[in-house]
Amino acid sequence: MAPKYKMTYFPVKGLGEPIRFLFAYGGVDYEDYRFEDEQWPQLQGKMPYGQVPILEVENKRIHQSVAISRYLAKQFGLAGKDDWEAMQIDAIIDTITDLRTRLANVHYDEDPVSKERNREPLMKETVPFFMSRFEDEVKSNNGYFVNGKLTWADLYFVAILDYLDVMAGKDLLENRPNLQALKAKILALPSIKEWVAKRPYSDA
């Protein structure tokens, strides 16, 4: 019997959803453990580096959502045909993380003054820059992020998009037809379609 995985995260999509998409794609059973927000202060001290999501299997546990996603992508044949292609995928993933970090820095800023001041260049310059580059990338790669075929970069992007949209306060795919087509294609994969239909509701 294959080892049973357990993934622990907040009851939202956020950084956990790429992992859930990958498990769905791979057809691998796992425990999708979602704790309540009230439990977090108590849980945090027990987490490696105070962070979630974590993945557990056979008494081993690991943190960092991107590292976990890459590991699962390797198991399911989505991590590139050679080292160079794996690097191309990794570069896209880290660029998505760059965009996410920029959005998070403003979204979670508790000072209304700096939040307001930083929001304008973020939404007028940074976000359009990244999104137009992503659009070009997918357009020039036959509808996928890397080399004209499905990789975990595509699953990762679509899985984390709702969270990015909530932080941006808008639909990031507006006027991006190639990214819209990619999203529709990923959500139409039978395994992903089934997961999205049954997953618990959350906005981000």
CB 178 within 8 A of CB 135: yes
Q: Closer to a copy of itself by CB, 37 or 111: give it.
A: 111
CB 194 within 8 A of CB 153: no
Q: Closer to a copy of itself by CB, 49 or 201: give it.
A: 49
Residue 11 parent element (H or E): none
Minimum Å distance from CB 131 to a copy of itself?
A: 12
Q: Closer to a copy of itself by CB, 63 or 183: give it.
A: 63
CA distances from 74 to 113, 128, 149, 188, 195 (A): 44, 31, 15, 22, 20
CB 102 within 8 A of CB 122: yes
Minimum Å distance from CB 101 to a copy of itself?
A: 6
Structure tokens belonging to residue 203: 């906005």
Q: Closer to a copy of itself by CB, 75 or 194: give it.
A: 75
Q: Which residues are at the interface with a copy of itself (CB under 8 A)?
A: 48-51, 60, 62-64, 66-68, 70-71, 74-75, 83-84, 86-88, 90-91, 93-95, 98, 101, 105, 111, 114, 117, 129-130, 133
Minimum Å distance from CB 188 to a copy of itself?
A: 28
Minimum Å distance from CB 127 to a copy of itself?
A: 13
CA distances from 170 to 39, 110, 128 (A): 30, 20, 12
